[in-house]
Chain A
Amino acid sequence: MAAFSSSTSSSLLKPAFISSSPKLSAQSILPFRVSNPLPRRGLNMITTSATTTTVTTSFSCKSQSSPPDSQTRDQVQQLCVYEINERDRGSPAYLRLSQKSVNSLGDLVPFSNKIYTGDLQKRVGITAGLCVLIQNVPEKKGDRYEATFSFYFGDYGHICVQGQYLTYEDTYLAVTGGSGIFEGVYGQVKLQQLIFPFKLFYTFYLKGIPDLPEELLGAAVAPSPAVEPTAAAKACEPGATILNYTQ
């Protein structure tokens, strides 16, 4: 669904076109996130002085990025993450507030699980948030939730997401923002369930942020119900976690 310029092999290649330009600009420009592709929203702030109904140039029809320089602006970075419920965080907390026997609107499910890098080598941190049950879907033997939650990446920062979580199929959620290295991020994330509700695999399609650090971009283990983090990662041994992984 997301258009991205990088190769689509299973290994997480960084976009091949990463030119030296962001780094060059880092030397000469400002301290604020200089290697970043131009913040799209930053442009918006400046150009709103023009009438909002002005006809744009053609680029707005082609892609989602505003500036005409298409290379850095369209850069989509893929990031894979495994979410694993190891049953040691009191999660999920199913609040049956509808007071009905069948899952119904009114039920709320706060949750928090552990997350690992896509290559399952390092503990990254946690997810934390809320699933709002919207409706039970009997013909699919599952439920629709509206999920609003964050992925915490230790010292790197966090990514927040919102969207539909269907217990019976893969979905896409919107990336609504982030902090730290993810500040200003936008895009979407694909959610794939491997074992409901204990193992999930996420593929983020992120835009608007500097190149992600290598340790988050190792070749992802192909998602399947049997995948497990390395013993060292599960034990959070030194070298098998990111810095100050979120607990």
Chain B
Amino acid sequence: MSTHPSPISIIPCTIYFTITKQISLLSPSSNSMASPSSISVAPVKVQELSVYEMNERDRSSPAFLKLSQKSTNSLGDLVPFTNKIYTGDLQKRIGITAGLCILIQNVPEKKGDRYEAVYSFYFGDYGHITVQGQYLTYADTYLAVTGGTGIFEGVSGQVKLQQLIFPFKLFYTFYLKGIPDLPQELLGQAVAPSPTVEPTAAAKACEPGSTIANYTQ
């Protein structure tokens, strides 16, 4: 290991190369890392996960706190919220979202608002995913996946937010890295997003077989 070449010469090749070499020196038997040029670490797997968020108006949400005390939406207004979430195929109730939207500015030319959103998706016994990013009431956005617990522990990536009916129906596509393969029941073929989609009656009623284990309430 002390025969490692001078670090200075490696830097221009990006730090990554150096790290690869480091690994190969440490565990020569672990993988086919012949040389820095053959980065034999496999591409990182991205798993897509689709989720529908529905405001069924039974959670007193959202709570629009007009702390700016101005007539138009203004910086100072805060919007805690919590809605229900369902699998992408709308067959099973998963749990809830919970968090805070911080109004940043009203955007009159788009007839909407910019929020900074910080919230979590709770997946019952599976754990949760935390996200943060911009929520624009007038356009789709991407939020950062900042972490998770349970099966999502250590997760990274991003999530695409698509509004179907503002603010009652949203469709999310998560692009997740760094976690084991997701369970099949979360990966059913997603119903194509549109304003009229609805969960199955059984899922809305949280009947046995139409929820995940200990779906978050």
- CB within 8 Å of B: which residues of A? 1-2, 19, 21, 24-25, 27-30, 32, 38-48, 50-57, 59-72, 97-98, 104-106, 108, 130, 132-135, 144, 146, 148, 161-164, 172-177, 186-188, 205, 207
Contact = CB atoms under 8 A, between A and B. Distances in A.
Interface stretch (B86-94, B106-114, B150-158, B186-194): B150-158
Nearest to B129: A174
B44 A176 contact: no
B43 A56 contact: yes
B64 to A, nearest CB: 9
Contacts of B146: 162, 174, 176-177
Nearest to A57: B42
Given A29-B7, A163-B149, A44 B156 contact: yes
Given A52-B43, A176-B132, 14 more contacts: A1-B149, A2-B153, A43-B19, A47-B41, A64-B180, A106-B65, A108-B78, A134-B98, A135-B59, A135-B60, A164-B128, A177-B146, A186-B156, A187-B153
B213 interface: no
Contact of B11 (A30, A71, A188): A30
B36 to A, nearest CB: 12
B27 interface: yes
Interface string B21-34: 01100110011000
Given A30-B7, A146-B100, A188-B149, A172 B127 contact: yes
Nearest to B157: A44
Nearest to A172: B149
B61 interface: yes
Interface string B71-106: 000000010111000000000000010111000000
Interface stretch (B117-125, B164-172, B199-207): B117-125
Given A61-B181, A105-B80, A174 B42 contact: no
Contacts of B4: 25, 28-29
B128 A53 contact: no
A57 to B, nearest CB: 4
B147 A174 contact: yes
A110 to B, nearest CB: 12
Given A24-B2, A104-B63, A174-B148, A48 B44 contact: yes
Interface string B1-22: 1101001001100111011001
B57 interface: no
Contacts of B11: 30
Given A2-B153, A60-B42, A105 B26 contact: no
B177 interface: yes
B60 A105 contact: yes
A176 B147 contact: yes
Nearest to B79: A106
Given A135-B59, A174-B130, A29 B22 contact: yes
Contacts of A188: 147-149, 153-154
B31 A69 contact: yes
B139 interface: no
A101 to B, nearest CB: 14
A234 to B, nearest CB: 32
Contact of B179 (A55, A64, A98, A176): A64
22 contacts: A21-B26, A28-B4, A29-B10, A30-B18, A40-B178, A44-B44, A47-B42, A47-B44, A48-B43, A48-B44, A50-B43, A52-B46, A64-B153, A97-B63, A132-B99, A132-B100, A133-B80, A146-B119, A162-B147, A175-B147, A186-B147, A186-B156
B154 A46 contact: no
Contacts of B16: 42-43, 45-46
Nearest to B178: A64
Contacts of B41: 43, 47, 66-68
